[in-house]
Structure 1
Amino acid sequence: MNALKKIVLSVSCMAVAGISFAQTSTKMSLKECIQLAIKNNLDVQRATLQTESAKAYWQQARANLLPDLNANLSQGANQGRNINPYTNTYIDQNINVGNYSLSSNLTLFNGLSIQNNIKQNRTAFEASGMEQQQKKDNVTLNVILAYLTLLSNEDLLEVSKNQVEVSKKQVERLDILNKDGAITPSDLYDLKGQLANDNVSVVNNMNNMESARLSLAQLLNVNYSKDIDVERLTLDQINFVYDSSTENIYKTAAANLAIIKAVDLRQKSAVYGVKVAKGQQYPALVLSGGIGSNYSTAATTQELINTTYVDNGSYVEANGTKVPVWDPQNDYASHKIPFGDQFKNNRNTYFSLGLRIPILNAFQTRTKIRVAKIQQKDAEVVASSTRTQLQQNVEQAYVNMTSAEKRYKALSEQVDAYKESFRIAEVRFNAGAINSVDYLVAKNNFDRSNVNLIVARYDFVLRTKILDYYQGRPLW
């Protein structure tokens, strides 16, 4: 039985793994990566739950305008000397009693605390929605960074593989020449050393690429697999001229960014919180009403059965004769009153209008007002700090973007120069006009400039994506 369970478990795990890899075997676009990451991100899911919780509080605040309605039912048994709830007289017997009532209270006025509480919770709900969007924005930026890092490492790996191929061809050529004695052996071993160095670069770049793939898989919250692949970005998708200033970017960000809207709504909610606390200083006018009834097993009714006459021991004289006096005597039968009749006969209603005037409650209201004002000031500080931080981030991001743009353009020119230099050096080396040292210097310069250009290109793309985010532009 245990062996069967292990086989079933192994097959299930293999099936799950197969499904996971199948889902990520095709190339994923940047948009698909972002959507999947947002869907699977736990912080986003938690923010969604917090938004739903804030919505529930808002709905409850609105429901506080409605009257409450409470039913009270009690059933008991009394032994010994008790008050008969039906006749309000003492009796000495065991009885069962029941009381039933329905009551309601409606607050007509309490310093507008209820109305302001509705507004406070509504703005808090809206702020939670903006904070949820901010979580999504953070995930989006992180995915873009991981996506570009993976593409950058793929490009670096491709460059290193090309370097290996170039070095391998030269080693093969020099090996033939060395056997013929046409070159010095040092030239061959210099190139073999360079080939080994290029192979190390391939291994390093392959490891970096898998690390980047792992980082992306973790952001997507999916199982890591070498089958995870992403679509390439072509140069025509990259705009190397950015057409916005820091002032315009900040104004757009301050007007549209979710994090700014969130702190503004939190500040507005805090203002309503002060009004809620102040409203508790005013008298509260409450309308109350109810209906009730009761039941008792001691409640009985008397039914007349017949009337008889008995001698009461007295007499009257009539014509000198004593005539006895007879009194009528009624005979009754006792019957318990049914529950339904008692419930109907004992029914009572009441209505009242109450005014509660706060005079002294251990300074609780005053403390609530003071705390609410502190929270309002804290919300104002947070809003101001967030705007200041945003402006600084925009300025820093813009400086980084312009620096990345200048570096990319400079490296583009460097690559063109070193490419031509290496071409000439390769021709001369093949012709025996220069030694291996000069050839390797030219090759390393060209290889290094290619690597630097790839890093600079993706660095510039990332900087522009950050500025696009601040302006609410599409990120894919």
Structure 2
Amino acid sequence: MKKNRTSLLCICAISLVLLLAGTRLMAQTDSSRQLSLKECLDIAYTNNLELKQAELLAATTGIDYRQAKQNMLPQVNGLIEHGSNQGRNIDPFTNSYLNQKIDYANYAVNGGVVLFNGLATQNNIQQQRLALAAGKEEIQQAKDNLSLNLMNAYLLVLSTKDLLQQIRLQAELSRRQVERLEILHKEGAVQPSQYFDLKGQLANDEINLVNTQNQLDAARLTLCQWMNIPYDPSLELEPIRPEDFLQSYLGDATTIYQAAINELAVVKAARLRTESAEKGVKTWKSQLWPTLSLNGALYTNYSSAARTAQFLRTVETTTGDYVQINGTQSPVLTMREEFDMQKITYSDQFKNNYGTNINLALRIPLVNSLQTRNRIDRAKIQLKTAELVEKNTRIRLQQQVEQAYLNMNATYNRYKTLLLQVEAFQESFRTAEARFSEGVLNSVEYLTAKNNLDRASINLIIAKYEYVFRTRVLDFYQGKTIW
């Protein structure tokens, strides 16, 4: 029995170790997984609070649109009233005055539908529909802005990572030269100034390495902030080949702007807001027209004072008058009906007092402190404001497209020039390195050649990624997939 228990404990221990090892392996796999730009965008769309606010605002506008359509439905209301009156009151059953306690109840169902109100309802429906469409475009606008900012942060991480790799290579080259010169310096086969010049260059490369690593950490932090997630220093991104994007960009600024007017959500939203404001003016102008409505009602009531006369019998009784018959007074008789006053039951009153009403009503606006006129003027101001916003949006878009196209061309020309410069400096440094290794070239000339190549290589990396970003921005303006 003890042996079985020991075996069971061993099995549990092994299972626990395997589980922990598997969990650690999964954690390592997750942490080493590279995120693509699309995955980063999906995370940002899910976590961005400004985007959620835009979605909530659009949802509110959707409710307004739904209500505008439902305003065409009839309005139906019910009334149930129970009460008790003390003292002199009107009997709701007979409309006569009574000085007693009366319990009463009223029931009614009434409704109405607007047949015509100057098309105010229809114009309001169109206004809210356009506002809802504008809200949806503004959600897309928020996504577009987030996409551009996140793409810029994404490329900044990749470019800084490439810069870090380039500076590592530079530092490694300096380190090998220092190690070589250190041996020669100990043997007295090289001037001390050359050794210390290279040693200072190594320190400079290591400082650049530290600074670039800090820049990479800052770029990762910026990207995490755009995704609204905690900072992850081990965040890895799916790399790209900038060379795949390094060709002359097709199109010109005018063509790109014309495409942007038709494709960008910010322009569509501004245009829809203007159209919605136009319908708003028509909606308030419609309030100046008469309103024709059809109304109807069903009603009944109850009163505790309600009584009904129940016939009992007919009896012969004297009237108090006399007639002379043969000199003898004879009383005048009459027939009198006798009734018993009985309380009318609740259910009988509910059925007997039933009534209906139907009517056509025409409401003609005459004077309402000029409120409608003032609201029309306010709606016109809102229309003018929307028109100015739309016009300003188009102007700013044109300026942005022109600037973006100019930046793209400048970056492309700079890239081509840097490409030639790097090729030239590579050949210059190759020659300088060979001559320096042979002791023909001094350290100053060697370091000059090396620094020229280093700067050109770094500038080329920056230009490559900048050109990728510039071209993606122009694609964005034309409604193309940016990645």
TM-score, normalised by the number of residues in structure 1: 0.91
| Structure 1 residue aligned with 2:17 | none
| Structure 1 residue aligned with 2:256 | 249
Q: 1:91 to 1:452 in 2, by over 3 A?
A: same
Q: Which moved more, 1:404-413 or 1:86-95?
A: 86-95
Q: 1:61 to 1:312 in 2, by over 3 A?
A: same
How far, CA to CA, are the matches of 1:380 and 1:198 in structure 2? 56
Give the alignment partner of residue 71 of structure 1, picking from 58, 78, 103.
78
Give the alignment partner of residue 158 of structure 1, picking from 160, 165, 181.
165
Q: Which moved more, 1:97-106 or 1:202-211?
A: 97-106
Q: Does the 8 Å contact 1:404/1:456 carry over to 2?
A: yes
For residues 323-334 of structure 1, what are the structure 2 equivalents within 5 Å? 332-334=339-341
Q: Does the 8 Å contact 2:103/2:304 carry over to 1?
A: yes
How far, CA to CA, are the matches of 2:267 and 2:164 in structure 1? 41
Look up the equivalent residue of 1:343 and give its one-letter code: F
Determine whether 1:466 maps to 2:457. Answer: no
Give the alignment partner of residue 91 of structure 1, picking from 91, 98, 108.
98
Q: Which moved more, 1:262-271 or 1:395-404?
A: 262-271
Deviation at 1:326, TM superposition (A): 6.8
Q: 1:455 to 1:114 in 2, by over 3 A?
A: same
For residues 296-375 of structure 1, what are the structure 2 equivalents within 5 Å? 296-305=303-312, 332-375=339-382
| Structure 1 residue aligned with 2:286 | 279
Give the alignment partner of residue 245 of structure 2, picking from 238, 244, 253.
238
Cα-Cα RMSD: 2.3
Determine whether 1:35 maps to 2:69. Answer: no
Q: SS at 2:229's partner residue?
A: coil
Q: SS at 1:280's partner residue?
A: helix
Q: Which moved more, 1:242-251 or 1:81-90?
A: 81-90
Q: SS at 2:165's partner residue?
A: helix
Q: Deviations over 1:169-215 (max 9, x none)?
A: 11111111111111122222211111111111111111100100010
| Structure 1 residue aligned with 2:197 | 190
Deviation at 1:79, TM superposition (A): 0.8
- Aligned-pair identity in percent equals 46
How far, CA to CA, are the matches of 1:336 and 1:395 in structure 2? 91
How far, CA to CA, are the matches of 1:19 and 1:72 in structure 2? 67
Determine whether 1:387 maps to 2:388. Answer: no
For residues 259-278 of structure 1, what are the structure 2 equivalents within 5 Å? 259-278=266-285
Q: Deviations over 1:265-292 (max 9, x none)?
A: 1111121112112212222212211111
Q: Does the 8 Å contact 1:146/1:215 carry over to 2?
A: yes
Q: SS at 2:78's partner residue?
A: strand
Determine whether 1:420 maps to 2:416. Answer: no
Q: Which moved more, 1:98-107 or 1:398-407?
A: 98-107
Q: 1:115 to 1:438 in 2, by over 3 A?
A: same
How far, CA to CA, are the matches of 2:27 and 2:314 in structure 1? 97
Deviation at 1:218, TM superposition (A): 0.6
How far, CA to CA, are the matches of 1:235 and 1:111 in structure 2? 62
Give the alignment partner of residue 49 of structure 1, picking from 47, 56, 78.
56
Deviation at 1:165, TM superposition (A): 1.0
How far, CA to CA, are the matches of 1:23 and 1:285 in structure 2? 68
| Structure 2 residue aligned with 1:126 | 133
Give the alignment partner of residue 221 of structure 2, picking from 214, 234, 252.
214
Deviation at 1:334, TM superposition (A): 4.1
| Structure 1 residue aligned with 2:418 | 411
Q: Deviations over 1:100-126 (max 9, x none)?
A: 111112111111111111111111111
Q: Deviations over 1:61-111 (max 9, x none)?
A: 111111211112221110112111112222222121111111112111111
Look up the equivalent residue of 2:357 and give its one-letter code: Y
Look up the equivalent residue of 1:202 and give its one-letter code: L
Q: 1:427 to 1:170 in 2, by over 3 A?
A: same
Deviation at 1:239, TM superposition (A): 3.5
How far, CA to CA, are the matches of 1:220 and 1:20 in structure 2? 21
| Structure 2 residue aligned with 1:108 | 115
Aligned residues: 459
Q: 1:41 to 1:20 in 2, by over 3 A?
A: farther
Deviation at 1:373, TM superposition (A): 2.0
Q: 1:180 to 1:384 in 2, by over 3 A?
A: same
Look up the equivalent residue of 1:387 and give its one-letter code: R
Q: Deviations over 1:36-63 (max 9, x none)?
A: 2122111111111111111111111111
Q: Does the 8 Å contact 1:21/1:227 carry over to 2?
A: no
Q: Unaligned 5+ residue runs, structure 2? A: 1-24
Q: Unaligned 5+ residue runs, structure 1? A: 1-17
Look up the equivalent residue of 2:415 and give its one-letter code: Y
Q: SS at 1:270's partner residue?
A: helix
Q: Which moved more, 1:352-361 or 1:205-214?
A: 352-361
Q: Deviations over 1:252-273 (max 9, x none)?
A: 1111111111111111112111
Q: Deviations over 1:200-253 (max 9, x none)?
A: 111111110010001000101111111221100113531421011111101111
Q: Deviations over 1:273-324 (max 9, x none)?
A: 1211221222221221111111111112333456666677677788888777
Q: Does the 8 Å contact 1:20/1:223 carry over to 2?
A: no
Give the alignment partner of residue 146 of structure 1, picking from 147, 153, 167.
153
Deviation at 1:362, TM superposition (A): 2.0
